[in-house]
């Protein structure tokens, strides 16, 4: 995804401690055309896996997940909530994950009325860093009885080891852009 890599190089900011700020096109302001291209790229990689549903975590994963779902023929997108609304009835699928940017643990919740045992689930998120948030989403898929068919991220930070932490799921893992180094203020994109 050359367009994505170019935007990361041009607009990305290394805030230290492995935090990459790409708020100008994904995590605060959205470049819809770029995210549509990312969604089409992810869809092309996972089309043969025949997903029936996309799962992500709120908030920043929703746009790339939605664009992927659209490119796959308008699949339903379910996002794990971090705060339980009064409209979400018990029981719910719930798991815990750390938030690197929020500096603590968050609960991820999905209502069973939107995730079924016969689903083939593709997880799409904004970042693959340590893999702990995506791993929590994988456990939610597992607890629902659904089948996990793949994991995709807009940006992977390889130096945080997330891909290795997710290999136990035995599914393809891909990222549209890969960051290999963020030491000394650098952003090295592959």
Task: Tell me the C-alpha distance between 109 and 63, whole Å.
Answer: 18
What's the CA gap between 96 and 106, in Å, rounded?
Answer: 6
Q: pLDDT band at 85, cuts 50/70/90?
A: confident
Reported confidence tier of residue 101, pLDDT bands at 50, 70, 90: low
Task: Check whether 12 has a pLDDT greater than 80.
Answer: yes
Q: Domains in the chain, start-ordered, CATH in brackets?
A: 2-189 (3.40.50.2020)
Burial 88-124, CB ≥16 within 10 A → b, else e? eeeebbbbebeebeeeeebebbbbeebbeeebbbbbb
Percent of the chain residues past pLDDT 90, beyond the cut: 89
Residues 124, 79: Cα–Cα separation, whole Å? 10
The model's pTM is: 0.95
């Amino acid at each position: 995804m050359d367009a994505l890599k170019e935007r990361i190089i041009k607009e990305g900011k290394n805030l230290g401690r492995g935090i990459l700020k790409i708020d100008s096109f994904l995590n605060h302001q959205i470049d819809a055309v770029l995210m549509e291209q990312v969604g089409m790229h992810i869809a092309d990689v996972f089309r043969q896996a025949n997903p029936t549903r996309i799962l992500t975590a709120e908030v920043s994963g929703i746009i790339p997940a939605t664009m992927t779902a659209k490119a796959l023929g308008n699949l339903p997108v379910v996002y794990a909530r971090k705060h339980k609304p009064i409209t979400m009835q018990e029981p719910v699928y719930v798991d815990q994950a750390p938030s690197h940017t929020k500096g603590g643990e968050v609960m991820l919740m999905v209502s069973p009325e939107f995730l079924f045992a016969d689903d083939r689930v593709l997880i799409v998120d904004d970042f693959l860093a340590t893999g702990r948030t995506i791993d929590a989403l994988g456990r939610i898929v597992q607890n629902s009885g659904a089948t996990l068919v793949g994991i995709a991220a807009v940006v992977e930070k390889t130096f945080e080891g997330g891909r290795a932490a997710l290999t136990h799921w035995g599914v393809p893992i891909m990222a549209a852009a890969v960051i290999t180094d963020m030491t000394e203020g650098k952003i090295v994109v592959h």
